[in-house]
Amino acid sequence: MSEPDLIICGGGIAGLTAALCAVKAGLTPLVIERAEALSEVGAGLQVGANAMKVMAGLGLDDAVTAAGHTPRHLEMRDGPSGRTIFSVPAGEAGRRRWGALHVNIRRAALQQVLAAALKARAPEALRLGIEAVDYSLNPDGVTLHLADGSQMQAPAVLGADGIHSALRHRFGSGESPNYTGHTALRALVPASAELRALVPDASIAWTGPKRHAVTYYLHGRDLINFVGVVEQSEPVPEGWHTTASLEKARDAFAGFAAPVRAILEEASQARRWGLYDRPPPSRLARGPIALIGDAAAPMPPFMAQGASFAMECAWAAIWSLKATGDFTAYEQAMAVRGGRILEAARRNGRFFHGSGLAALAGYAPVRLASTLAPGRIRQRFDWIYGHDVTHGKKIK
């Protein structure tokens, strides 16, 4: 392999997307991943239309769509009653409005699509079992300091090494991640005929007092992805590997509508993990080095934009590097948008968990607007899904 133009720390969705963008740009990327094998954990995720435009720019939109499932609608429903608060058409209607489909996919399946494409286009671009622990700037770019005491050098470096990024501490925010007071429960449930008859073909947020659930189908409607978020003061470990009590999960959502209860009744196992946050760094870039994905700012799940925004950032970072030789343009473009998405996600978290009169006061205007002026509800999603980071920023 020739000397890399760019080293990417982290072989998750953000890092692999960045590597594919670099290949498209005619750069030689090297992805280093501390794990000995790529084994993306988790269950499902939503790839919004904004991120699917990045996949289209890489020629991977058909592969992602084939591996995932396109819901008919994006909805919010009152969890206990099941009443629809709003419903926004997705599918082909979403493509016409936002320029791309909205696709739900297993996290591992998305990583496999990205990894297979990188192997085909740059067979030597991924090296496993290598961990960066620090960096220093030098006249020719960046020196990475590795866990085994050795060093690597490249003209530029992208930190895509997750919420515990080893590179982040030099960007003005070295705080450890803080528990948010929310614990997530996740389950993948085979979609039986009974469930398919009961659970709508939509990405649905079921709101409720101090908790909410999200449900949607995955590939071929063979599976249903369930995520439940409950408020819990006692910290829960971060990570996807802690087994959850199905009995407690069912109790937590016992007062919810029949589709939510039925999904949990048919679940054979569940996982739980604590949701952690940390303030955004004061900088996203320092000349030839930048952060993307959770290494920059963990995105609360209440906008379903963690992976999607990371994919946008991957494109923007490589475009910036190719066009200007550093990541300054990336930082200028994405800091503002990332802050807006982050604030919207936090606002949704409060909105989803309302109760009593406060919840009714919040939901009623949205439900009324959805009925009387559905176009206005759809417009509320245009800034996020209609955004095209590739527009005017073609990577050639």
Closest CA to 261 of 80, 45, 71: 80
Q: Which CATH number characterizes residue 18's domain?
A: 3.50.50.60
Tell me whether residue 123 is in a domain: yes
State pLDDT tens for residues 16-32.
999 999 999 999 999 99
Question: Kind of pairing, strands 141-146 and 132-138?
Answer: antiparallel
Picking from 148-152, 249-253, 360-364, which range would have the lowest pLDDT averaged per residue? 360-364
pLDDT: which is higher, 6 or 347: 6
Question: Kind of pairing, strands 151-154 and 126-128?
Answer: unpaired
Considering its fold, how many domains does the chain have in total? 1
| Residue 119: domain span | 6-68+102-176+278-350
251 sits in the region (left: phi over 0; alpha: psi -120 to 50; else beta) called alpha
Tell me whether residue 324 is in a domain: yes
Range 354-379 average pLDDT: 53
Question: To the nearest whole percent, how much of the chain has pLDDT over 70?
Answer: 90
162 touches 240 (CB < 8 A): no
9 touches 164 (CB < 8 A): no
Range 228-242 average pLDDT: 83
Give the pLDDT confidence score for residue 357 in this predicted structure. 42
Tell me whether residue 229 is in a domain: no
Tell me whether residue 119 is in a domain: yes
Q: What is the mean pLDDT of the chain?
A: 89
Tell me whether residue 301 is in a domain: yes
Tell me whether residue 77 is in a domain: no
Tell me whether residue 171 is in a domain: yes
Picking from 72-76, 120-124, 294-298, which range would have the lowest pLDDT averaged per residue? 294-298
Taking the whole predicted model, whether its pTM rises above 0.85 is answered as yes
Give the pLDDT confidence score for residue 281 in this predicted structure. 80
Provide the annotated active-site residues: 216
Paired tokens of 396 = 């050639």
What pairs with residue 41 in β-bridges?
none
Closest CA to 10 of 147, 128, 141, 156: 128
Give the pLDDT confidence score for residue 358 in this predicted structure. 46
Sequential DSSP letters for 208-249: ETTEEEEEEE-GGG-EEEEEEEEE-SS---SSS-EEPPHHHH
Tell me whether residue 391 is in a domain: no
Q: How far is CA 103 from the centre of its chain?
A: 12
